[in-house]
Amino acid sequence: MTVTTNGVVAAPYGDGIATTSADGWNTVNVGAGGVAASDNGVIATATGKGSVKVKIHGDVSGTDKYGVAAATSSGSIQIDLDAGKFISGGMAGVAVQSQTGEATINNAGAIKSSGTGVGIQIDVNNGSATVNNSGTIQVDPGQIAIGVASGAALIKNTGVIDGSIVSLGLTTLNNSGTWNNAASSYVQYLNNTGVINMGPADGPVGTLTVAKDASFGPGSYYNARITATSNDLIMIGGKATITGGLVKITAQQDGNYQRGSRYILMRAMGGVTGQFDGVLSDMSKFTGLLSYDDKDVYLTILLRDFRSYALTRNQWSVANAIYWSSAKMGAGLGGQMLLALNQSADSSVAASLTQLSGDGVVTGAANAALQTGHLFTSVLDDQQSLWRDSMPRDQIVRTIAPFAYAPTRVDGNKWPVSRQNYAPTPVRRDDGVQRWRVWASGFGGRSSLRGDTVAGSADQKLNSYGGALGVDYQMGASMLFGVALGGSSSAFNAGNAQGSAAGIHVGAYTGFRVKGFYGTASVAYSNFANKTTRSVGAIGAIAGEQETASFTSEEVRTRLEVGRRIATENFAVTPFTAIEIAHLHTKPFIEQAAGGVGMFTLSFKAQGVASMPTFIGLKAEASLDLGGSILTPWISLAWRHEWSTSRTQTATLTALPGASFVIIGAKPARDAAQVKAGVNLAFSQTVALFATFEGEFGTKNPVYAGKGGMKMAW
């Protein structure tokens, strides 16, 4: 028997379509016009061995009873609903009944019921039923979306089920779609790779009961609601097998939670195997950490917003990074780190944030490298200064010209002496001979940088020492070209962070002098191999760690200077102005704790820092004849202005991917008085010794340095 409709079927009273058959097929094809009835929209039955097939291509409604109802004795039932169409009923959207037959419901549209009605009602006794849902099954809040009165039922959901599932038979739910309002459900087996939402955020918490076994796979979600005193629960009579997925927590009363509160989200009487991937929280201040024992899955509420505990800018930066990265909390080190912060007393949270910041790891190494690079460049500047202040042929120091020779008799002239010719003073002409010099110099310096109290950065102490060897070549009387190679060692101490670096330096320099005016230039490249150690004390109940790192940084520095030397016979003054431009690039690196990446380990991306000091000053010198040697003491005073004082570092807590923050480190004084003093001692025209003191004195950051060496010319 086959019934097919083309237009609209309307039944203000009774059923829309009612068919019955014996033994054979009872087929109903509802066209696009659909059916609207007061009782049953479509009711089809088959007796004996008969089967029922209902294909719905239009909307069907049964206001008081069923949208579609089908019943057989031992035959099969098949109900198909097209996408974009709906079936609705007052008692149930779809109802199937059989004694020993097999029922299949394929829903690509929407099956719904209102009031106290059920979405799909299954009563197959000794038979079986399969629901393939790729559409929507929807009922009013608190009602049953699928009810199984008897028989074996398999529910395959790739769409949306909005309501509970209650089974008195043997029901297996394979959910890879979305199941809303799952609380108060009762099924025998559950395999979840989709989303389970226990209920609306403002609704009462409840229990989803699985009589036998349950599994949760990768990509699955279990959305549980919690209050200050209660929570949703999945109660499993058999085993729970977890191979991934997330637990999402929805809070009802965000302001009443206490950090450290513990909830049981799942209990499996047959035992729990595996773990979820982590927790996703919609709470503004809290997240959660999962833990497990033989039968239970626990959720511990953790405060994730520690910004109000921060006392400095750097502490707030760390707390803010933790806040924005901890809404989704994994099962690894990130949760343990956050647990450690939650275990800390309120009074110690700020100090813990400082320990996590890594203050000084990069900025301390950068300040030490910039100091060392400046010292190497100043060695090149010293050599140019020695050259430009000497005689045109670079005799190392100025020599004092002799008096005119005594008069000599000239043939043809007679005495007295007063009438004799005087021989002129010998004039040593500039023959343009090119001169070579080789020199060696050692340098060392230390400085103290006061931390920024607003930012909360630690004070830094820097030490640098090293040596350089160079050779230069004079072309004519006015040009000099030179190259130098050096090595250095530096160290810094910045609160919880310490480090050292070995540096290699290569430089080139040039200069000219014309009638007292001069200009000099140098460029230097430095490469630093850095090693750092950062100590993190115990946080909460978690023991401290020592983080170590090795990384490289590179500096390029240029210095330009112009001035005029105004000289008398044994004294000279030189007004000058100079600028240094330096850029230090630090390559990315990750700290290591004992055995690998630790709970408090930081990763640092590539970052750069610039330095651009300018100098305006005056140099004074004198020459003293020591009888065979010449001593030239000198002093220089200058105003140093640093145009780029920013010293920051960007770090990420490796335990919390995405927890990146910027830390402000100790920085140099913007303005300082630079004092230089030195002495050059020439033993001959080819060998001399030199020594220099350099200091910068500002409001808070003193710098001291010394240099010395020897040069030879030929």
Q: Mean pLDDT, to the nearest integer, of 463-475? A: 95
- Residues listed for the chain: 714
167 burial type by CB count under 10 A (0-12 exposed, 13-18 middle, 19+ buried): buried
What is residue 140's DSSP assignment? Answer: -
- How far is the C-alpha of 607 from the C-alpha of 551, rounded, in Å? 12
**H/E element, 372:** helix 361-388
Least reliable range by pLDDT among 108-112, 174-178, 702-706: 702-706
Farthest-apart Cα atoms in the chain, separation: 166
* CATH annotation of 361-399+435-713: 2.40.128.130
State CA 597 to chain mean position distance: 15
When the pLDDT of each residue in the chain is averaged and rounded to a whole number, the result is 91
- How far is the C-alpha of 622 from the C-alpha of 397, rounded, in Å? 11
Residue pLDDT, tens place only, 440-462: 999 999 999 999 989 999 999 99
Tokens of 544: 């401290």
Residue type for position 127: G
Give the list of residues 6+ apart from residue 414 with CB closer than 8 angstroms, or none. Answer: none
Instruction: Let me know: does 270 contact 310? Beta carbons within 8 Å.
Output: no
The whole-number pLDDT of residue 396 equals 47
Burial per residue of 482-514, b for 16 or more beta-carbon CB atoms within 10 angstroms, e otherwise = bebebebebbbbbbbbbbbbebebebbbbbebe
Residue pLDDT, tens place only, 668-684: 999 999 999 999 998 88
Tokens of 549: 């790192």
**143: number of Cβ within 10 Å:** 20
Going by pLDDT thresholds of 50, 70 and 90, the confidence category of residue 685 is: confident
What is residue 412's DSSP assignment? Answer: T
Kindly calculate the radius of gyration of the chain based on its CA atoms and give it in whole angstroms: 44
Long-range Cβ pairs for the range 288-293 (8 Å, 24+): 288/247, 288/249, 288/329, 289/329, 289/335, 289/336, 289/338, 289/339, 290/247, 290/265, 290/331, 290/335
- How far is the C-alpha of 205 from the C-alpha of 209, rounded, in Å? 13
Give the list of residues 6+ apart from residue 580 with CB closer than 8 angstroms, or none. Answer: 374, 377, 557, 558, 559, 611, 612, 613, 614
**H/E element, 352:** helix 349-357
The whole-number pLDDT of residue 141 equals 93
**Is residue 666's pLDDT more than 80?**
yes
- How far is the C-alpha of 513 from the C-alpha of 477, rounded, in Å? 8
- How far is the C-alpha of 527 from the C-alpha of 525, rounded, in Å? 7
Residue pLDDT, tens place only, 59-114: 999 999 999 999 999 999 999 999 999 999 999 999 999 999 999 999 999 999 98
- How far is the C-alpha of 124 from the C-alpha of 152, rounded, in Å? 8
Instruction: Let me know: does 646 contact 670? Beta carbons within 8 Å.
Output: no
- How far is the C-alpha of 566 from the C-alpha of 60, rounded, in Å? 107
**Is residue 183's pLDDT more than 50?**
yes
Beta strands in 476-515 (DSSP E): 479-494, 497-514
The whole-number pLDDT of residue 401 equals 45
- How far is the C-alpha of 109 from the C-alpha of 91, rounded, in Å? 19
Going by pLDDT thresholds of 50, 70 and 90, the confidence category of residue 392 is: very low
The whole-number pLDDT of residue 411 equals 55
Instruction: Let me know: does 682 contact 397? Beta carbons within 8 Å.
Output: yes
Domain ranges of the chain: 361-399+435-713
Instruction: Let me know: does 130 contact 78? Beta carbons within 8 Å.
Output: no
Going by pLDDT thresholds of 50, 70 and 90, the confidence category of residue 257 is: confident
Beta strands in 543-683 (DSSP E): 545-564, 566-567, 571-586, 589-590, 602-604, 607-611, 613-622, 624-625, 630-642, 648-653, 660-664, 671-682
- How far is the C-alpha of 278 from the C-alpha of 263, rounded, in Å? 15
**218: number of Cβ within 10 Å:** 10
The whole-number pLDDT of residue 476 equals 83
- How far is the C-alpha of 222 from the C-alpha of 245, rounded, in Å? 8
Going by pLDDT thresholds of 50, 70 and 90, the confidence category of residue 434 is: low
Tokens of 294: 């033989």
**165: number of Cβ within 10 Å:** 29
Going by pLDDT thresholds of 50, 70 and 90, the confidence category of residue 285 is: confident
